Every structure is written in structure tokens, then in C-alpha cells.
Amino acid sequence: MTKVIGVSFKKNGKMYYFDPASANVEKGDYVIVDTARGTECGEVTKGIHEVPNASVVQPLKPIVRIADSMDIKRMKQNREDERRAFTVAEGRIAHHKLAMQLVDAEYTLDRSKIVFYFTADGRIDFRELVKDLAGVFHTRIELRQIGVRDETRMVGGLGICGQPFCCSRFLKDFHPVSIKMAKEQGLSLNPAKISGTCGRLMCCLAYEQPAYDYLARITPGLGSLVQTPDGYGSVVEVNLAGGTLRVRLDPPAIGTKFYKAAECRYISGGKRAPSAPDKEPETENE
């Protein structure tokens, strides 16, 4: 196990692990760290804790120090200046007639570099743009192309559920999402209904999948024989999220009825003869 702290550099941004060294760091503190982008000031979003060694990317960098009031003031000033830098860069992109969409601008703490994030359909020759921006800001310029999911996380917005995007609200990492998950969750396979604003499959399909896997294990599946409060029958419809089953009762003349999954007992080994009610049916999780 390795002792770490979790640090984020943007609101609801990805959390990175750092070595707390000998500092007494708590959640909500600000720390100065060295990253691939340079020296940065980040917020401790998770205090000192231990994680498996396999979860840590080596070498684990230690924090430089706990941020003081001047560091925090400089960080906030950088955030304000990033808005101006964004506006200026948009104008220069339009001037050079480049087919790219600017998404965000970000200063390092010491202002030795400013990173511009953008999206584009293909490769962009932005060498002249970099020279132009360097002449305006008098610092090192880096342009970084990102994907549509990262763009959506940075820009934010409301999903089809009416809630703020999961990726910009609480998801720290993107996980693979497959159409198989939509099938197992009983969703319509209409792309418009299972895709997010970014155009990719909705992230909620992935983080909700473990719950559906659990419910599938404890709920009788289609075609299963069950015992209901009204007798025996076979399952013809399953609503995992709602916890209900539609059962075709035996004899068929009775028709079908809806039951809560907890009211039905799965019968193992095939159809049970209703003429032997004195013996409890064997149950198991499917």
C-alpha cells in the first residue's frame, strides 16, 4: 500500500495522486506540485489515505509545499487572466482562418506557459498561430487537441435527464462504454436516446452497470419459472430498475400479472408440479 493524497487542478477535474511527504495535508487545502505542465497549485480533494501500489503511477511525485496566501491569490489571478487569453486566442484563430474550436485556456502557476485546448476534425497547422500568440502573451505557448468527451467536461451543460453533466459534476475519469451495457439495462438502442451531448454513449451506462449486474443476479430472468402469491407462472417481462416482473400464470387462462420481484420465488430445475404444495420450492439467485 502507498500513502497518497488526491489533488485536482480544476473544479470537478480529474484527481491525481501525490506523495504528501511529511506535510499534514487535509481535504480542502491547497498544495504546490510539479506536473508535466509545470508548477501548479491544486486543491486537495482527498486527504491522506492508502491505495494499492498498482493504482499509483510511478514515480509518485511529492508535493513541493503547502500553498500560502500569495500562491492562492496568484492562482485566482491566473484564472481571471485565462478568460482574457481565451478571447484573444479566439480572435487570432479567426484571423488565421483555422478550422479549430477553442475550448479552454490555462496558465501554469508561475505563468511560464499557457496551454490552449481545442478540438478539430483533423490535423491543424498552427505554427503561425503559436508565433502570433507568443508575441501577444510573451510566454511559452502550447496548443493541445482534445476529444469531444473532454470538451464536454470542460464546457459543461445539462444532460437529457435535466441534471448537469456527470463528467463535469462528479466523474473523475472516463470509462469505456459499450452498446452491450444499454442492452443489459433494457434501454432503447436508438442512438439519440443513449448518447450524450458529446455524441458518445452516455457515461451513466458505465457507472450504473454494476448495479444492473447485481440486480440481474438476484432477479429471475425471462422464461424463468416462479412461484407468485397467486400460484406458479413464467416470467415474460423483467424491469430490473423498477424491481418488477410480469408473469404469465398457470393455467394460461388466468393471464398475466405484475409482481414485485421480492414477491416471486425462482424455482430451480424446471417447472414444479402445483399438485405438491406441501413441499417448499427450491430457490436460488439467478
- The string of pLDDT tens digits covering residues 178-231 is 999 998 888 888 888 898 888 899 988 988 899 999 998 888 888 889 999 988
Angle between the 69-96 and 127-137 helix axes, to the nearest 10 degrees? 140
pTM greater than the 0.95 cutoff = no
- How high does pLDDT run on average in the chain? 85
How far apart CA 4 and CA 17 sit, in angstroms, is: 6
How far apart CA 181 and CA 79 sit, in angstroms, is: 39
| pLDDT > 80? residue 272 | no
The full set of domains in the chain, from first to last, is 2-67 (no CATH), 73-146 (3.30.300.20), 165-215 (no CATH), 219-286 (2.30.30)
Angle at 272 between CA 267 and CA 276, to 5 degrees: 120
Please indicate whether residue 204 or residue 169 has the higher confidence score (pLDDT). 204
Residues 6+ apart with CB under 8 A from 32: 39, 40, 41, 63, 64, 65, 66, 67, 71, 109
Identify the DSSP state of 58: S
pLDDT of residue 277: 41
**Identity of the residue numbered 259:** Y
**Identity of the residue numbered 212:** Y
Residues 6+ apart with CB under 8 A from 7: 15, 16, 17, 18, 31, 33, 42, 43, 44, 45, 63
- Residue 90, CA distances (Å) to 93, 103, 119, 190, 213 in order: 5, 10, 13, 36, 46
> Which grid cell sits at 119?
478540438
How far apart CA 273 and CA 203 sit, in angstroms, is: 46
Identify the DSSP state of 252: G
- Residue 61, CA distances (Å) to 14, 18, 215 in order: 16, 5, 41
Q: Which pairing describes strands 265-266 and 256-260: parallel, antiparallel, or unpaired?
A: unpaired
- Assess contact for 181 and 174: CB atoms under 8 A: no
